[in-house]
Structure 1
Amino acid sequence: MLNTHVDYRVSVAYVGAVLKYLGITPTFPLLLSLYYREDPIPFVVTSVVMVGSGFLLERIDSGGELGKREAFLLVSLAWLVVPIAGTVPYLVAGTGTVAQPVNALFESMSGFTTTGATVLGDISVDTHGHAMLMWRQLTQWLGGMGILVLMVAILPELSVGGAQVVNQESPGLALEKLTPRIRETARALWGIYAAFTLLAALVYYALHLFGLAPNMDLYNAVAHALTTLPTGGFSPEARSVEAFSPAVQWAVMVFMIIAGTNFALFWYVLKGEPRRLVENSEFRSYLFAMGGFGLLITATLFAGVGLAQTPANVGVIPGNPENALRQGLFQVIAIVTTTGYASMDFNTWDASAQTILLFAFFLGGSAGSAAGSVKIVRWVLVKKAIDRSFFTSIHPEAVRPIRLDQKAVDENTVRDVFVFVLLFLGLFSVSTMFLYLDSFRTPEVTMSGLEAMSVAIATLGNIGPGFGIVGPMNSFLSFTPEAKLYMIFLMWIGRLEVFSVLIVLTPSFWRR
């Protein structure tokens, strides 16, 4: 028997419980397949595999308690095993580029981690069917607020130790406990998340009914709502949101902003405390960052200086204020919130506009939202820490705690923020170099340094599209299997904020 301080059997058993309950979710695309007279077998098989595997893994349970180390292991394993199970529909259907195992895992991991990067060679219902493309949308919605947050909300056995599990999975510094019991907090967050998803679907479809969005039918309305709120970005349309009218694009912007906001703030609004939203320093910084970058790109598009001289530059009309504002704001909001939708192909922008957008890749949305990347709150704390360092250099006797919304931030939290940012930037740098060098192995992949950086941050930050061959209207299909496996790893650790996975991979985690 391993001389380990981790009761891995408890973690594995909980992973089984997660799989067993998620085995219900293929029912939705299964019903769609029957409605559209498509093959239901991939979803029947998926449900059987998930439920059956879940029951088998549950039998491994040792009866022990879910401690801190077991929570780390549970979160890391669940976010690896669930995407593996998510490949079953693609493999059973055997249609298109996702019939190949590495591609299927890439698409599934990109879905559940809400990255939005794709290896589908042809995104159309004619090739894959309505039900399969809806499964792709559904994976993002399930991963958005957190698979394990959902499990804590519905599984009584996860009430004990649930706080540790939720904090390891939730993006940001730590999940704010809204109610005395973590299970009630999880239910509240998922309730708000589901309500906004329903509202988005209704708004999108209403635009269709009022004649403002001819092709935003009910199927598209539901499909895009399922990937807006989780900041996912998958679309059953090959041209993403560019395929829809300006009215739809403005509506999507509003819901992307909501999706990148700390959902705890909406809880306070519902409880009659709207001031908590408007006075929140992270929320104000979040809006300021999107507004600043958005207006900067808007100005370049309005003047026409940010456009490459190419006939492919459809979508931008230099000198048209509404058009420039819509395109500039949409792309910045989509990148900052890590949604990854596109209202036009920003590959047609020149290097100056793309470089501005690249900086936005590193911002991220709010803590407690579905957004990825570094997160605005971390940059706020980094700035405050730098300001304090300057102040104490001038006044060495001064004691000046870092405050966030009038509350002193623990020094351990400040230290962890700097460690995370340095680790994130280090991984980004190493990944850029690896992916750039790997591109020389295949003639189909030619990348500049800027494009290689965008590939690394797009996957590590769970953003989705990048520049060049991985632009918003292109795919990640051309990369080697080894590069795709590495990007799958980046999406996995990026969704769990790097620490949760890397800690499990250290030898000290397993020692007594």
Structure 2
Amino acid sequence: MGNINFRVVFRVISNNLFILSAALFISGVVAILAEEQITPFLATAMLSLAIGLLLYYTARRRTVHHPLSRKEAYLTVTFTWLIMSLTGSIPYLISGAIPSVTDAIFESVSGFTTTGSSILTDIESLPKSILFWRSLTHWIGGIGIIVLVIIIMPALKIGGYHLFTMESSLQEKISPRIKTVGIYLLYIYIALTVAEIILLLAGGMNLFESTCHAFGTVATGGFSPKNDSIAGYSPYIQYVITIFMLFAGVNFIIPYYLVKKDFQKIRQNDEFRFYLSVVFVIGLVISLSLMTDMGKPVEISFREGFFQVVSIITCTGFATADYLQWPAYAWIIIFFCMFLGGSTGSTAGGIKMVRHLIVLKNIRIIFKRLSSPHAMLPIRLNKKTLNEEANNSVLTFVTLYLMVFITGSVLLVLLGLDGATSASSVATCMAGIGPGIGSVGPV
């Protein structure tokens, strides 16, 4: 640990805490407008600001000129999640909305990691300002913090790319000017959020609910201010949210290239085509099962099927139907969707589409080698050869992911939970989805 420059780590964390303070002050404004107590947000904001300033001035003693090392990047990301999750739980505790420390931390971690799992049973009984803060933790956790850190990094003469790859491995390096990219990503993120708010308002949803749902959709989080999630809203609202969940699961490189009018790069992106194909095929299978096995009308089958599939694959976790009431094979497919994840460089969780694509390419090469043992068969991604280190890294990640899943599931079974609940609880939390199977289903 001796070669780690903690001043660099402190400087980045301090910037994150300043962002968190600003978010808490905004929630305080919502509390004033809703005529609710402002103390939970004001007190937490001041605490966050104080710790941020302390770390900032500690880091300022020496000017930072070297790039952020891999160790420092890992440490920064880890401490950022830990500090923000603990700080984010304080408003729940002070307001009394969630009196248990464990429950408050759970809700905060679920928010910032955009998991969307909740300990709350009656969401609508909470103050509006607390529900707004709960949804805002999604928006911050989704990509806001990472993008803002990238923008801040160049001012500190720290390479932001290392920190970004901690969040999205295999992220394509799109420009040497990381600050420019960061600003573009932030604009795209804000534009998607604003566009969804406007479209939800056009469908008759009020401003508060539109904002909360937009935060949860664009960040692929899944927190809703309503007890029945999206189920009680009109088909129009459900279609809007489906489309934006699909957008949110796309690598943010794609809209960046779209803005730059670099359509060739979009066409060459293997993960983008694979992601859309997987969503379309699984969505179609589920929709057909609802039509043929449950006798539902075509439009309802299409809407319910695609909403749930997109929600689970992008790890958003919104729900419009209880998929446990579907035919057994349909909800088993939904369970396997929990391991897919969206694209790298998106706000979605899970294993991620590009890793599945690389695993499939490896399997194809194994079969090809059966007929041509001495053939040189490189793995190509986006028309470029993937080096052996990157390939092995992906295979190791997928193996470890599945091992952790199996271990966690066995531990929960030993604690007395049934198999379906145990397996889906671990799968949904690892991927950051929210609802699972069994007693942790969508209702």
TM range (shorter): over 0.9
Distance of aligned partners of 1:109 and 1:158 in 2 relative to their CA distance in 1, 3 Å threshold: farther
1:190 partnered with 2:186: yes
1:31 partnered with 2:19: no
Structure 1: 5+ residue stretches without partners: 209-215, 306-317, 441-446, 474-512
Partner of 1:341: 318
Aligned-residue offset at 1:9? 4.6
Matches within 5 A, 1:126-137: 127-137=125-135
SS of match in other structure, 1:455: helix
Partner of 1:304: 293
The answer on whether the counterparts of 2:335 and 2:437 sit within 8 Å (CA) in structure 1 is no
Aligned-residue offset at 1:255? 0.5
Partner of 2:358: 381
SS of match in other structure, 1:236: coil
Inter-partner Cα distance in structure 1 for 2:3 and 2:410 = 36
Inter-partner Cα distance in structure 2 for 1:361 and 1:467 = 10
Aligned-residue offset at 1:364? 0.7
The answer on whether the counterparts of 1:71 and 1:161 sit within 8 Å (CA) in structure 2 is no
Matches within 5 A, 1:3-82: 4-61=2-59, 63=62, 65=66, 66-82=68-84
Partner of 2:394: 417
Q: Deviations over 1:330-373 (max 9, x none)?
A: 10000001111001122323432221111111111111111110
Moved over 6 A (4+): none
Distance of aligned partners of 1:450 and 1:138 in 2 relative to their CA distance in 1, 3 Å threshold: same
Matches within 5 A, 1:90-489: 90-95=92-97, 98-124=98-124, 127-154=125-152, 156-169=154-167, 171-174=168-171, 176-208=172-204, 216-304=205-293, 318-438=295-415, 440=416, 447-473=417-443
SS of match in other structure, 2:36: coil
Residue identity over aligned pairs, in percent, reads: 36
SS of match in other structure, 2:413: helix
Structure 2: 5+ residue stretches without partners: none
SS of match in other structure, 1:241: coil
The answer on whether the counterparts of 2:268 and 2:383 sit within 8 Å (CA) in structure 1 is no
Inter-partner Cα distance in structure 1 for 2:256 and 2:4 = 36
Inter-partner Cα distance in structure 2 for 1:115 and 1:158 = 31
Inter-partner Cα distance in structure 2 for 1:429 and 1:324 = 33
Aligned-residue offset at 1:264? 0.6
Q: Deviations over 1:144-172 (max 9, x none)?
A: 11523312214544442212112112x24
Aligned-residue offset at 1:384? 0.8
Length, aligned pairs only: 439
Inter-partner Cα distance in structure 2 for 1:4 and 1:322 = 62
Letter in 1 for 2:9: S
SS of match in other structure, 1:99: coil
Q: Deviations over 1:400-438 (max 9, x none)?
A: 211112111111111001000000000111111112222
Letter in 1 for 2:383: Q
Inter-partner Cα distance in structure 2 for 1:68 and 1:395 = 39
Q: CA RMSD in A?
A: 1.7
SS of match in other structure, 1:160: coil
Letter in 1 for 2:421: E
Q: Deviations over 1:9-29 (max 9, x none)?
A: 532343233213321111221
Inter-partner Cα distance in structure 2 for 1:106 and 1:234 = 13
The answer on whether the counterparts of 1:261 and 1:365 sit within 8 Å (CA) in structure 2 is yes
Distance of aligned partners of 1:437 and 1:60 in 2 relative to their CA distance in 1, 3 Å threshold: farther
Aligned-residue offset at 1:385? 1.2
TM-score by length of structure 1 reads 0.82
